[in-house]
Structure 1
């Protein structure tokens, strides 16, 4: 026996079928709000480059190009008419605290803060950020935070072909690594995605959202090059010397001793410790 749909049920079903799909984020409005435009990648991510072209950083006598180790970025992945945003922001030491405070006040999560290169002068740090919600609201928050740094926000001119030439045997480098790189601002770059599907909060994280291995070559003369980058590793690929795996969280503070003690106790209460 087949159940009959009532007129109301039929109208509800028809109206559901006729509902328009959620509109994709307006990337032009995101760019206008953020203060700098980006590009949409083949995997549907809107990515904005934030190279610190204003900084003169050197390491062991090598002047670092912005695309080599000073290349910040912000990337938006659509979630219907909402978005997930991730990124790395390159900051000087004096910029870290005000930018971090402003971003956290605006609902942007700081997921990591660290330096990529020891002995670099002046020291620069990478601040990793994360957020979910309305893309224009996210762009507003990120703009407010970056405004407290000297990060250049003007749109860069398209680099000339001569600026893209790399005085390295790039074919030999490609063969040695087993992947093909590309020239970008005097730096030879590799972006190597992992085989697994990477997810965060149930959302797939494409390679352009920072889940790919990044390797950069910068020529230093006489066939030599400096290299830097990020290896994206799963737990089993990190040197598994200790069991169970341990992670060290370093901390520092200067405040009332008892107040600090209470804060440390709150953290210790979250851990599996031996009874004293």
Structure 2
């Protein structure tokens, strides 16, 4: 609200200077945040939680539910991948004027793709991408991006029923012992990457927001990180100061090749380049990467690549 009031004052001043009157202003633009808040309060989030069988992480008005593939043992270049590194499926719900906008990224094995897809589309959800994020992983994992718009309970039910066609765990079980803190110089990594990371599931994760606004269906997609629109960088310790890194850069078209050049120059493999959505503005491309080397060295390479993007430092 503090951000909206100055904007309204500024618009009013501009209109007065131009001789405009209030009847010519589309006040719906300014009402949208209040409408979203009202709808967020009217949604039965407990029912959504019960349908999906888990509690969300809540950031502003976005509820994000994790679906990690803790049932899988995936290895790549001798590294056993933790779910928080590259196997963390998720679905996020953002309130809109007629329900919610939902988007997500589900981790699947090859035989699971079409059964899950058929169940999802039969329930009215959209499939917006299916692709790899990693190379050489065993077993190979694929990533299905989904979208929905409407009643949150119906969407949650469709997601649950779709995932039931896979072996994705639908019941949350707490680990017997919490994973140890990542054995890395996280303070130095924070300084190099330029934002504060956080430890999750034995992995040190960064979300680096973009500076430019991103919209879909006329609505700004904010906050970006829980909606999958921040640059994601994950470090999994592999011993002796080394780490396996993966994640994705969120890029506009003119940023793609400069980032490729920086990553490859610093010994970081580019493993995928593709879209995740269908009609976002501006058009975005998602670049996935992989390396296993000295963590500080890799962080410097990632920082060089970040400097080619319109991303923010804290």
Classify the secondary structure of the residue corresponding to 1:112.
Answer: strand
2:86 is the counterpart of 1:69: yes
Give me the whole-angstrom Cα distance separating, in 2, the residues matched to 1:248 and 1:124: 16
Per the normalisation by structure 1, the TM-score is: 0.76
* Alignment check: 8 A CA contact 2:79 2:238 kept: yes
Q: What are the within-5 Å matches in structure 2 for residues 1-276 of structure 1?
A: 22=39, 24-41=42-59, 43-80=60-97, 82-157=99-174, 163-206=179-222, 207=224, 208-239=226-257
Q: Once the two structures are superposed, what CA deviation does each residue of 1:90-146 show, in whole Å capped at 9, x if it has no partner?
A: 000110010011101111111011111100000000100001000011111111100
* Alignment check: 8 A CA contact 1:95 1:149 kept: yes
User: Number of residues paired by the alignment?
Assistant: 221
Q: Quote how far apart the aligned CAs of 1:36 are.
A: 2.7
Give me the whole-angstrom Cα distance separating, in 1, the residues matched to 2:234 and 2:253: 24
Q: Which residue of 1 aligns with 2:270?
A: none
Where do 4+ consecutive residues of structure 1 move more than 3 Å?
Answer: none
Give me the whole-angstrom Cα distance separating, in 1, the residues matched to 2:104 and 2:176: 23
* Alignment check: 8 A CA contact 1:192 1:214 kept: yes
Classify the secondary structure of the residue corresponding to 1:119.
Answer: coil
Q: Which runs of 5+ in 1 are unaligned?
A: 1-20, 241-246, 250-276
Q: Once the two structures are superposed, what CA deviation does each residue of 1:51-89 show, in whole Å capped at 9, x if it has no partner?
A: 100000000110000100100000000114500000000
Give me the whole-angstrom Cα distance separating, in 2, the residues matched to 1:196 and 1:236: 14
* Alignment check: 8 A CA contact 2:77 2:136 kept: yes
Per the normalisation by structure 2, the TM-score is: 0.67
Seen in structure 2, the aligned counterparts of structure 1 residues 134 and 102 have a Cα distance that, compared at 3 Å, is same
Q: Which runs of 5+ in 2 are unaligned?
A: 1-37, 259-272, 276-314
Q: Quote how far apart the aligned CAs of 1:148 are.
A: 0.3
Q: Say which one has the larger Rg.
A: 1
Which deviates more from structure 2 when the two are superposed, residues 184-193 or residues 78-87?
78-87
Seen in structure 2, the aligned counterparts of structure 1 residues 143 and 239 have a Cα distance that, compared at 3 Å, is same
Q: Quote how far apart the aligned CAs of 1:173 are.
A: 1.1
In terms of fraction of residues, the more helix-rich structure is 2
* Alignment check: 8 A CA contact 2:164 2:170 kept: no
Seen in structure 2, the aligned counterparts of structure 1 residues 149 and 195 have a Cα distance that, compared at 3 Å, is same
Give me the whole-angstrom Cα distance separating, in 2, the residues matched to 1:173 and 1:164: 18
